[in-house]
Structure 1
Amino acid sequence: MQGTGPATLRARVRGLRARIKGSRYCLPFSLIVFTILDLLVFHSGAFSGLFRSRSTRGSNDDESYLINTPGCVIQNFDVLSPQFAKLRKEYPMSFKCGDKRDLTESAGLKLFMFKERATEYKVKPSDLECNYRRVIPRTDKEGFINVRSTLGDPVPITDTETHIDEDGILATCFEASDNNTPIYYNVHYFVQPQKAQVKVENFKKLHGDRSAQPDKLSVLVLGIDSLSRFNMIRHMTETYRYAMQELDALDFRGYNKQGANTRPNTIAFLLGMTRDKFDATEFDEKDRGGFRSEFPVIWKDFANEGYVTAFGDDVAGSQFFNPHDVEYFQRGAFTVSQRHIAHFIPNLGFSYAPCQGNKMSASVIYDYALDVARSVKDAPYFGFYWTCAITHDMLMMTRVIDQPVKTLLQTLNEEGILNHTVLFLVSDHGARYGKLRNTYLGNLEVNLPAFMAIFPPWFKTLYPRPWKNLVTNTRRLVSNFDFHQTLHDLASRDYILNKIRPVEANHGQSLFREVPETRTCADVSIPLHLCACESYDDVSVDDPLVEAAAKFTVDYLNEGLTNFPDCVQLQFDKVLSARMSSGNNVTRPNAAKQLVTVYLLVLQTKPASATLESLVRSAAGELSVVGEVQRTNRYGNQSHCIDDDIYRQYCFCRDQLPQQ
């Protein structure tokens, strides 16, 4: 990325500070106001707030706080608070992806055809003809599976029940008199046991029967995009209640995201790397996409321990999630599904197709996850599944997947699969756009994604110390890096041997070990502008210092946009909301020597009414932007003229300006 390295940013901020000293932001009178205001805030509120928070930190069970430790205090909210209630819209509790029954269905390794349903398609059963074509995933020059696939030759479906030896197929039906016009498509997925046969046999040779090794735990990760902990409790009420009450789930209340969107957060918990380190080593765009084979992706830890590995996601066009070398990989069939049967629900505003034929996209992934779990029961496996299509865009739509997720958990439990499996239900961040996002509650939600862990019921008895630490850590500040180290411990069983794995500084620790009460966001590389431990108080949007900080933000962005000549310069419009923090150990490390105020702003710029969230630090009359300025409303095609991962949030392409 051009012009955004640390040295460049520091130089940019220094230059802006120098300009500000002689500008409208920092006139002598403003400097006096800054100093007086800082002194008043510090002496009237900072000490009292600091002592007040210290006095409550001994009671970590106080429900006024999600976590309440010497290193971090995070306020709790009613999930149906007035801030949320007034923004609530009526969305359906569920929706139907189709009104006709499928002509083909699958179960296990069987494909079933239902000719009698042909009348629902205005075809006589006797005139119905169907075939299937196997899905052939493409490979790159190095032999790795990529996101594309082709189809094999048609095979007629002549029986009501057909055994399938493929991983995925496209079923097609015609009317016999017009077999050039398909009346029906469907994509089916099959988990072929022979793919795991070698690992199953090796496991039996080493350990005997699966039941004799219950602590060689399978691991199932269910990722749900854009799901905050608050919104899970609010809109996945059945899932949350079942997990907590029936499965004794661990709810990590202080799970704080590492980066703004999916990419940096999943990089952290899948690879244990920061976004900067990953970007510095990333391959060229012309390469095969996904994670390079030499990257330390966490499922390789499991594969090296003899685990069967599986992967699935419901946005198959993504180049980022592409593990290449797992045994069970549904993406090839899902790309065919997206070409032939994916569709949208009118008037609901999805960015990704929520339906694959008559099924919700998420349900396709959950069914596949269940099939893998059922098939691989004689050896441990690691399954990573990610759903995005339904939850990515709308806060309320989360409730649509509540029953499917609960049903999956119930089935896994009733079939005994959870007796040898650890299940993690995790997200990357909360809702990044919308009206709630521009409130203080929305700011907190986006930084606190859902993170729950479900262990077999015998685990707490067999391993009381790791279990005790897990429970303690549900009320501590935890990060994506901690999740990564925990997964490593499960793969290596280091939690049993009490081994401590050496890791980079500020890269977390396994949650099988107690997280220090003194931990701060800085201790685990959580940027200040994403830290939920920060506490802010309302301040008037008309405060001249607030407006100065907002205009400084716009100038800061404009300097970066000069590297992209196809983007217009932004203009300050107005401040929508403002909050202020003072006296925090992180924002003011040398409190006795330097007074610091941090402003959390939501501002609007022109053109196109871009809504931006900015964290601006004021110290000794000088301003600096902390972290990344975040766009909180959608920008669609406004930035089509650049592909920069950060500045596309702010860019308004010149060719979109009104014609003179």
Structure 2
Amino acid sequence: MPTWLTHFGSAGLPLGYSASLTRSRSVRERKHTSATSLTRLLKRYQTLSSEGNDGDSYLINTPGCAIQNFDVLSPEFTKFLKGYPKRWSDAVHVPGTSVPNYGLAPSSVECSYRKVIPRTDKEGFRNVRSTLGDPVLITAPETRIDEDGILVTCFENAGNRTPVYLNVHYFVQPQKAQEKAEDFKRQYGDRSAQPDKLSVMVVGIDSLSRFNMIRHMTETYRYAMQELEALDFRGYNKQGANTRPNTIAFLLGMTRDKFDATEFGPEDRGGFRSEFPVIWKDFANEGYVTAYGDDVAGSQFFNPHDVEYFQRGAFAVSQRHIAHFIPNMGFSYAPCQGSKMSASVIYDYALDVARSVKDVPYFGFYWTCAITHDMLMMTRVIDQPVKTLLKTLKEEGILNHTVLFLVSDHGARYGKLRNTYLGNLEVNLPAFMAIFPPWFKSLYPKPWRNLVTNTRRLVSNFDFHETLHDLASRDYILNKVKPVEANHGQSLFREVPETRTCADVSIPLHLCACENYDDVSLDDPLVEAAAKFTVDYLNEGLAKFPDCVQLHFDKVLSARASSGNNGTRPSAAKQLVTAFLLVLQTQPASATLESLVRSAGGELQVVGEVQRTNRYGNQSHCIDNDIFRQYCFCRDQLPEE
């Protein structure tokens, strides 16, 4: 069955190119908005404090792990609100895709489309690039489209070749799922007759902590918890510093070290080649249709080659032709694609896939980054789009046979909040929610009880990976225990032990939210010694990169200490062990760094990876190293003497 492009009609021409986030207000209006917006924002937070945190002192409190809780109105956060609304207008406007009257008669407009043609490499794998076919004039009211995407351009016939419409259209071609749909029907009959062959949708939002979801995705969080009975995993602790190690863990079940040490070459590691045990292969082997979408089309890391539905090619065209930034806002990735937010393009695609393959189980993985990656407060912009996605999925009955995971990789990695203790917790505790069909808890009470129990346990990316395995194989029905690699988690359909520690699931100590730290004086001699030791430690590593200058210690910005716990005290140690959690500043470029330094018997040791907490932009352009580019300041950027 083909997909059809319907030509414009009496409703007028769609509006295809305009900013999605508007800032066109007068200075006086913005000042007024700032005051009223801040008041509204604080009132909204007040309503969420009890909903998200339950007034508990701890998010989780077990023998193996206790994670401190914070009110979303914590002074550590609200002190950064001053002046925030002045930066961008309180109004976040996403124009519609059509207008009643565009001022042009259909007869005066000429439209054509160009096919999006995916590129393949020498081995036949799809890559992140795509090309465009020759223009095809649109003359009929309906035009058959066999591609996954097209670029449509319309001109006014009166000789002016400035486009009046320019937009990328995405298509979910039903024929791609036809064979799997027929196989499923032969095996199981009607879709409703096999309710436990559950579809799975993973909606990933980059740089979203649980705390920040409660703050800025107010409507989404409330709707998920109250209307969909979502499970909110309060002790979900990230595995690595950034997106790469965390997604490697939950998509492949590997640590980053193991992933980097594989037998495949660097060109293979970039794009999850067919040799890798990516989780959607488990679902594909069970007859599931698979789909993928993300709003950073240039990324080589997420580049699946073996899914049925793949919007990368069309989105790459969108990035080249209709993507746009908002001046002076600080986005790393284009937040707008024509008249839509980049995230909304992905959510619409996810919904289209779910509608198209409703008669066969599917696995969809969707990741959005552009809006949330750079600014803590911008998360509020996607609140309504995500809520609308959830609400539509419910109203159309899709959630009756779908498990939806709303997940992130980590919290905000940069900014002023990041240098506080709350910021340290936030970056290590990403959002992780699960929404099951309403019938699941009554049909499978034991797995459901375990899921609920685990919302108050320490859980990891590896647990998420094993849970997805269980959904693909339906092992949760028998509560079947499968052997997994040591320290690599377990399915959340089984109860996580109360005694679990970060070490039990390969969460590095410097990223472990279970560690409890208290403020210490910046004048403590050990604090300065630990900070200077950190700089010496980094300089030793930077010496391997001659194009990078050596760092100089400037000052300590904050210091906290933890003593005598199992994580910081070696098992054979009898002396007092203190772990210092420091935020320090180095020169050049006023780099801020977070370091965990262990002190025992007069000896100092840097634990784990030192993390950069302010942006470094192009400062490290002279090296290509995932770790040391955080600290490198290239010599060619030093001022000439």
TM-score (norm: length of structure 1): 0.86
Aligned to 1:225, which of 196, 203, 206?
206
From the superposition, tell whether residues 306 and 471 of structure 1 become closer, same or farther in structure 2 (CA, over 3 Å): same
From the superposition, tell whether residues 488 and 530 of structure 1 become closer, same or farther in structure 2 (CA, over 3 Å): same
Q: Does 1:155 align with 2:110?
A: no
What residue is the counterpart of 2:45 in the other structure?
none
Q: CA deviation at 1:593?
A: 1.4
> Within 1, Cα distance between the matches of 2:139 and 2:377?
44
Contact 1:424 1:454 in 2 (8 A): yes
Q: Does 1:646 align with 2:635?
A: no
Instruction: Output aligned runs, 1:511-550, within 5 Å.
Output: 511-550=492-531
Look up the equivalent residue of 1:547 and give its one-letter code: E
What residue is the counterpart of 1:600 in the other structure?
581
Instruction: Output aligned runs, 1:495-574, within 5 Å.
Output: 495-574=476-555
Q: Does 1:379 align with 2:360?
A: yes
* Percent of aligned pairs sharing the same letter: 85
Look up the equivalent residue of 1:74 and give its one-letter code: I
Instruction: Output aligned runs, 1:331-480, within 5 Å.
Output: 331-480=312-461
Q: CA deviation at 1:500?
A: 1.3
From the superposition, tell whether residues 592 and 573 of structure 1 become closer, same or farther in structure 2 (CA, over 3 Å): closer
What residue is the counterpart of 1:187 in the other structure?
168
Look up the equivalent residue of 1:206 and give its one-letter code: Q
Task: Supply the RMSD in Å over aligned alpha carbons.
Answer: 1.7
Contact 1:466 1:513 in 2 (8 A): yes
Contact 2:479 2:493 in 1 (8 A): no
Contact 1:283 1:292 in 2 (8 A): no
Look up the equivalent residue of 2:241 and give its one-letter code: A
> Within 2, Cα distance between the matches of 1:399 and 1:62?
23
Instruction: Output aligned runs, 1:80-479, within 5 Å.
Output: 80-88=73-81, 89-90=84-85, 91-93=88-90, 95-96=92-93, 102=97, 117-119=101-103, 125-178=106-159, 180-281=161-262, 283-286=264-267, 289-479=270-460
**In the TM superposition, what whole-angstrom CA distance separates every residue of 1:347-391 from its partner, at most 9, and x where no partner exists?**
321110000000000000000000000000111000000000000
Q: CA deviation at 1:154?
A: 1.4
Aligned to 2:593, which of 609, 612, 615?
612
**In the TM superposition, what whole-angstrom CA distance separates every residue of 1:207-258 from its partner, at most 9, and x where no partner exists?**
0000000000000000000000000001001000000000000000000000
Look up the equivalent residue of 1:266 and give its one-letter code: T
Contact 1:583 1:591 in 2 (8 A): no
Q: Does 1:73 align with 2:66?
A: yes
> Within 1, Cα distance between the matches of 2:402 and 2:347?
16
Contact 1:239 1:403 in 2 (8 A): yes
**In the TM superposition, what whole-angstrom CA distance separates every residue of 1:312-358 from its partner, at most 9, and x where no partner exists?**
00000000001111000000000000000000122321110000000
Look up the equivalent residue of 1:558 and give its one-letter code: N
> Within 2, Cα distance between the matches of 1:361 and 1:78?
31
> Within 1, Cα distance between the matches of 2:268 and 2:165?
36
Instruction: Please say which of residues 329-338 and 164-173 is displaced more in the overlay.
Output: 164-173
> Within 2, Cα distance between the matches of 1:97 and 1:417?
25
> Within 2, Cα distance between the matches of 1:92 and 1:513?
46
What secondary structure does 2:115 align onto? strand
> Within 2, Cα distance between the matches of 1:473 and 1:288?
33
Instruction: Please say which of residues 473-482 and 534-543 is displaced more in the overlay.
Output: 534-543
What secondary structure does 2:259 align onto? helix
> Within 1, Cα distance between the matches of 2:312 and 2:263?
22
Contact 2:447 2:479 in 1 (8 A): no
> Within 2, Cα distance between the matches of 1:61 and 1:180?
60
> Within 2, Cα distance between the matches of 1:394 and 1:550?
28
TM-score (norm: length of structure 2): 0.89
From the superposition, tell whether residues 199 and 483 of structure 1 become closer, same or farther in structure 2 (CA, over 3 Å): same
> Within 1, Cα distance between the matches of 2:366 and 2:477?
27
Gaps of 5+ in 1: 1-59, 104-113
Contact 2:295 2:370 in 1 (8 A): yes
Look up the equivalent residue of 2:63 and give its one-letter code: P
Q: CA deviation at 1:159?
A: 3.8
> Within 2, Cα distance between the matches of 1:231 and 1:197?
41
**In the TM superposition, what whole-angstrom CA distance separates every residue of 1:570-599 from its partner, at most 9, and x where no partner exists?**
000000000000021111144871310000
Contact 1:250 1:453 in 2 (8 A): yes
From the superposition, tell whether residues 288 and 571 of structure 1 become closer, same or farther in structure 2 (CA, over 3 Å): closer
Look up the equivalent residue of 2:580 and give its one-letter code: Y
**In the TM superposition, what whole-angstrom CA distance separates every residue of 1:127-170 from its partner, at most 9, and x where no partner exists?**
32110111111111222111011111211122444343321110
What secondary structure does 2:406 align onto? strand
> Within 2, Cα distance between the matches of 1:97 and 1:568?
45
What residue is the counterpart of 1:586 in the other structure?
567
From the superposition, tell whether residues 285 and 588 of structure 1 become closer, same or farther in structure 2 (CA, over 3 Å): closer
From the superposition, tell whether residues 288 and 74 of structure 1 become closer, same or farther in structure 2 (CA, over 3 Å): closer
